[in-house]
Structure 1
Amino acid sequence: MPGKAQETSDPKERFSKTMWASMLAPEHLQRVEAEVIERFVPAGGYACRKGDSVDHWMGVVDGFLKMSSISPEGKTITFSCMLAGGWFGEGSLLKTECRKYDVVALRDTRVAYMPRSTFTWLLDNSIPFNRFLLQQLNERLGLFISLVEYDRMLDTDTRVARCIASMFNPYLNPGGGMQLQISQEEIGYISSVSRQRANQALQLLEKKKLLSLDYGGITILDLAGLRSFPAEDSDAISK
C-alpha cells in the first residue's frame, strides 16, 4: 500500500502540471483542491494493485509510475508510464470494475488521489472536464493500439524509439519538457527489453541525432523523428 497521506505547503502544486485543472471553473477547482489527497509511494512501491477496488482517480504530482501486469507465464508486460501531470484510471472508474493492472513507482513518487465522489461530481457539473476525459480516453486508446504494434511488428530499436516518444503525449504526460530524467533500466522497463539492449538502442538513436544521452537522463532533439522512426531505415541492431 502507498504511504500515509501528506499535505504539501501549497495544495495548488498538485495541479500545477495538470492540463484539466486549468480548464475548471474556479468553484469546481476549489472543491477538487479540498478533496484530493496526496500520498508518497517509495521506489518499488505500489500506488495501486491489480484486483483492488477502484475508489480514486489518480495523478502523478512528482515522480515516475509504471502501469503493468504479469502474464500467466511470469512475464511483466508494461502498458504505459506516467510522469508529473499525468492522470490515469478513469476507464476503471467509469466501468466500476476492479483494477486490471499494477501501478508501481519506478522512483520515489508523490501521487494525488481524487475520490470517486469528486470525480463523479465533476462529470455531472463540468463540461470542460468531460471534454478533457473524452480526449484523454482517445489518446490512451491510440497509445495502447500502438503498443500492440510495437510489440508484434517492430524491431527492438524502433520499439524503444516509439516508447520514448509516447511519454511526450501532451494529454497523458503534460508536465514534461524535452529533457527527461530516466535511467536506461527504466527505458528497458517501458520498452520490455533489457537494460543492455536499451543502451544499444539509445546509442543508435543518439547517432541518428534524435536524442542525446545525458547523465541520468535523455534530451529529445527530434520528437517527430522518434515518433516516425522506421524499422526498415534504422540499420538496427538485430533483436
Structure 2
Amino acid sequence: MLNQQYTSVLTSSIWFSSLPENLQSALLDKVRIRHLKAGQQLHAKGEEGIGFYGVCEGRLRVVNIGENGKEMLFALLGPGTWFGEISLFDDLPRTHNSVCEIDTVIAVIPKVAFNAVLKAHPELYPHFARLLCSRVRSAFQFIDSSAGLNLQHQLIKRLLMLTTSYGQHLPQDSAITLTLSQESLAQMINSSRQTVNQLLGDLQNQGLLHLHYGKITISRPSALFALLKDKE
C-alpha cells in the first residue's frame, strides 16, 4: 500500500499531476511497491513489458550495451518519473535495460491491472498519448544533440533534458540539483570525462551551475536555456 510520502512523490510529476483526481486514484489504487538494490535490474532489453512504473525513491539508469561491450547511458530516472508504458501499448519487448543506480523503490502497476484501468477509464488514452508524444519529442532532441552540434551545445541540452527526466515541476528560475557523475554525463554526449569537466567548469565560471561531488546544481535553468537558444 502506498504511504503518503510515496503518493506525494508520484503525483509530483508534470504529467501525472495534470490527470483528473479520479484518474490519479484509479492508477494509484493498482500500485504495488517493489524494493530494489543498487545494481539490480528492473527489466532487460528484449523482455516482455509486464508493468507501468513510477519511481518513488532512488534512481535508475536507462542503458544499452554497445557492440564494444561499453554501457551507453540514455537517461536517468529519478523520483516522480513514470515510465514503461510503451511496451504495454504496442506489446513489443523492452528496448533498453533499466538498472538501479542506488537502492530504489518502484511503484508497479502490473500489465493486467493497467489494462483493466484503461478499460474502465478510456478517457485516460488522450493523457497517455500526450505522455508518448513527450517521449517522441525527447527522442528527436536526443538525435539533434548528436547531429553535428558542438560539445558545449550537446552538454547544455543534455542537462536541460535531465531536469525534466526527474519529474520535477519547479519554477523556471529555481535551482535544480542533479545527482549525476561527470563520467555518466560524458557517456551521454559520447565524450571524455576530462572534456566534460572543462565544459562544466566554463559554465560554472559563468554562474550557471555549481559542481559538487557526484552532483550538479543548475543555478538558473532559464539562463542556461537562454544560452542554448543563443547557440541554435
Confirm or deny a common fold (TM above 0.5).
Answer: yes
- More deviation, 203-212/184-193: 184-193
Note the C-alpha offset of 1:160.
Answer: 1.6
Look up the match of 1:111: 106
CA contact (8 A) 2:26 2:117 kept: no
Q: How many angstroms apart in 2 are the aligned matches of 1:49 and 1:120? A: 22
Equivalent positions of 1:84-99 (< 5 A) are 84-99=79-94
Q: How many angstroms apart in 2 are the aligned matches of 1:100 and 1:187? A: 21
Are 2:135 and 1:154 equivalent residues in the alignment?
no
Q: Cα distance 1:233–1:150, how it changes in 2: closer, same or farther (>3 A)?
A: closer
Q: Cα distance 1:129–1:209, how it changes in 2: closer, same or farther (>3 A)?
A: farther
Look up the match of 2:166: 173
- Alignment match of 1:66 (pick from 56, 61, 79): 61
Are 2:121 and 1:123 equivalent residues in the alignment?
no
CA contact (8 A) 1:65 1:83 kept: yes
Structure 2 letter corresponding to 1:211: L
TM-score between the two structures when normalised by the length of structure 2: 0.81
Question: Secondary structure at the residue paired with 1:168?
Answer: helix
**Any gaps of 5 or more consecutive residues in structure 2?**
171-175
What's the % identity of the aligned pairs?
24
Equivalent positions of 1:206-221 (< 5 A) are 206-221=204-219
Structure 1 vs Structure 2 CA RMSD: 2.9
Note the C-alpha offset of 1:190.
Answer: 3.6
Note the C-alpha offset of 1:207.
Answer: 2.0
Structure 2 letter corresponding to 1:203: G
- More deviation, 60-69/124-133: 124-133
Note the C-alpha offset of 1:86.
Answer: 0.9
Structure 2 letter corresponding to 1:146: Q
**Any gaps of 5 or more consecutive residues in structure 1?**
1-6, 235-239
Structure 1 letter corresponding to 2:81: G
Q: How many angstroms apart in 2 are the aligned matches of 1:176 and 1:74? A: 36
Look up the match of 1:184: 182
Q: Deviations over 1:29-81 (max 9, x none)?
A: 44433421122222222121111111101121122222121233334333322
Q: How many angstroms apart in 2 are the aligned matches of 1:179 and 1:14? A: 16
- Alignment match of 1:36 (pick from 20, 31, 37): 31
Equivalent positions of 1:185-204 (< 5 A) are 185-204=183-202
Q: Cα distance 1:227–1:209, how it changes in 2: closer, same or farther (>3 A)?
A: same
Q: Cα distance 1:176–1:14, how it changes in 2: closer, same or farther (>3 A)?
A: closer
Structure 1 letter corresponding to 2:155: V
Question: Secondary structure at the residue paired with 1:35?
Answer: coil
Q: Cα distance 1:155–1:231, how it changes in 2: closer, same or farther (>3 A)?
A: farther
Q: How many angstroms apart in 2 are the aligned matches of 1:195 and 1:43? A: 23
Q: How many angstroms apart in 2 are the aligned matches of 1:67 and 1:228? A: 28
Structure 2 letter corresponding to 1:84: P
CA contact (8 A) 1:59 1:112 kept: yes
Number of residue pairs the alignment of both structures matches: 225
